[in-house]
Amino acid sequence: MRILITGAGGLLGRALVRRWQDRHVLLPLGRADLDVCDVAACHAAVTGFRPDAVVHCAAATAVDRCETQREEAFRINARGSAAIAAACHRAAVRLVAISTDYVFSGALGRPCDEWDRPDPLSVYGISKLAGEQAVREHCPDHCIVRTAWLYGSGGQGFVQAMLKFGAAEGPPLRVVDDQRGDPTSATALADGLGRVLMAGMVGTVHLSCAGGGTTRYDLAREILALRGLARSIEPCSSSACPRHAPRPADSRLDNMVMRLHAMPALPHWREALADFLQEHPDG
Ligand SMILES: NC(=O)c1ccc[n+]([C@@H]2O[C@H](COP(=O)([O-])OP(=O)(O)OC[C@H]3O[C@@H](n4cnc5c(N)ncnc54)[C@H](OP(=O)(O)O)[C@@H]3O)[C@@H](O)[C@H]2O)c1
């Protein structure tokens, strides 16, 4: 397939390029190559390359920053998604747009499936939901893939932070134990997205690592244990570690649509994490 990737310099974009470059003809466009907020540039990129599909990874993903930079969040996550969706529709190209578990508030007390009503808590989540709505409105031939708690090589997220702090001396690390989600390897997600693309799936699809999810605290313990780091760690509540943006208490994703289509599940999060840390011991 010929696949154009937006936000190709980001965590997921880089994983897609690594996993797909031998199988597909790719046009990976980083922010400097294509600003997704530029309507004319989106149109020119899509009509110029004539892909079979666009995978839209570009986003404003700094959850706390979005709280204070509200306009920027909506410009990129909502208007940028509208621009790429309109360009795909005009060129009759399938759009696979990546979205997030943070469109849910996490109040259900069970994993959220594709038919649960989104009710985001943060500007990031609200702007990503607006992006989903723009994709549905402007490009009927779409697949919106919601994923969660991504990590991968070269990232600067939770896994890398735990490796760094876990290796340092100091008092016990305090990690929140009242946020549950599905830690998801960008490599495993790239492979799953490849299957979603090849199967021509449409509509809204949840795609996250299997295993029923975990808390940030248990994820941190697993990371330290896998790397043999002895620093002690203790649970705390989100209210004890306030952040700009509220986080969902339980945003685990039920990958129901994948099951209904008899598509393979992503690996268990513990297995994917162990594979990642074996390949990238320093993150
Ligand atoms: N990371 C997670 O935990 C997570 C969880 C669930 C869903 N997701 C979703 O997964 C997708 C990929 O996320 P990621 O983790 O790969 O995030 P990322 O590493 O922040 O990558 C996003 C990329 O988009 C680029 N970008 C920002 N504004 C742009 C614009 N106007 N035009 C073109 N590119 C622009 C960024 O460039 P700069 O670096 O220059 O800003 C960055 O390279 C996003 O849709 C995100 O919402 C992520």
Q: Please give, one letter per residue, the 3-state secondary structure of 179-247.
A: CEECCEEHHHHHHHHHHHHHCCCCEEEECCCECCCEEHHHHHHHHHHHHCCCCCEEEECHHHCCCCCCC
Q: For residue 155, what pLDDT is reported?
A: 79
Distance from residue 10's CA to the centre of ligand 1 (Å): 5
The model's pTM = 0.98
Residue 205 lies in a domain: yes
User: By the 8 A CB rule, do 159 and 276 touch?
Assistant: yes
Enumerate residue ranges in the chain where pLDDT < 70: none
Radius of gyration of the CA atoms of the chain, in A: 18
Domain-embedded: residue 160: no
Distances (CA, A) of 84 to 8, 158, 222: 14, 29, 39
In a domain, residue 94? The reply is yes
Q: In the structure, which protein residues have their CB atom closer than 6 angstroms to any atom of ligand 1?
A: 6-7, 9-13, 31, 34-37, 57-61, 76, 80, 98, 100-101, 128, 147-150
Residue 56 belongs to some domain of the structure: yes
The reply to whether 223 falls in a domain is: no
CA of 6 to the centre of ligand 1 (A): 9
Distance CA(277)–CA(141), nearest Å, equals 37
CATH of the domain at 142: 3.40.50.720
| Number of the ligand 1 atom closest to the C-alpha atom of 101 | 6
Ligand 1 pocket test: pick from 17, 61, 129 the residue with the most ligand atoms within 8 Å of its Cβ. Answer: 61
Ligand 1 atom 37: the closest Cα is on which residue? 31
Spatial CA neighbour of 8 closest among 55, 71, 74:
55
Domain assignment of residue 116, given as a range? 2-152+183-213+251-267
How far does the centroid of ligand 1 lie from the alpha carbon of residue 59, in Å? Answer: 4
Based on the residue annotation, tell me whether 217 is a catalytic residue of this protein.
no
Helices (H), 63-185: 63-68, 70-73, 80-90, 123-138, 158-167
Residue 232, in any domain of the structure: no
Query: Do 203 and 144 contact (CB within 8 A), yes or no?
Result: yes
If one counts the domains in the chain, the total is: 1
Residue 53 inside a domain? The answer is: yes
CA distance 42 to 87: 6
- Best CA proximity match to 163, nearest among 243, 79, 276, 39: 276
* Residue minimizing CA distance to atom 10 of ligand 1: 98
Strand 173-176 to 25-29 pairing: unpaired
Please say whether the beta carbons of 199 and 94 come within 8 A: no
Is 177 domain-assigned? no
- The CA 142 to ligand 1 mean position distance, Å, reads 19
Q: Is the dihedral of CA 149, 152, 155, 158 positive or negative?
A: positive
Give the HSE-up count for residue 110: Cα atoms under 13 Å, Cβ half-sphere: 6
Report the length, in residues, of the chain: 283
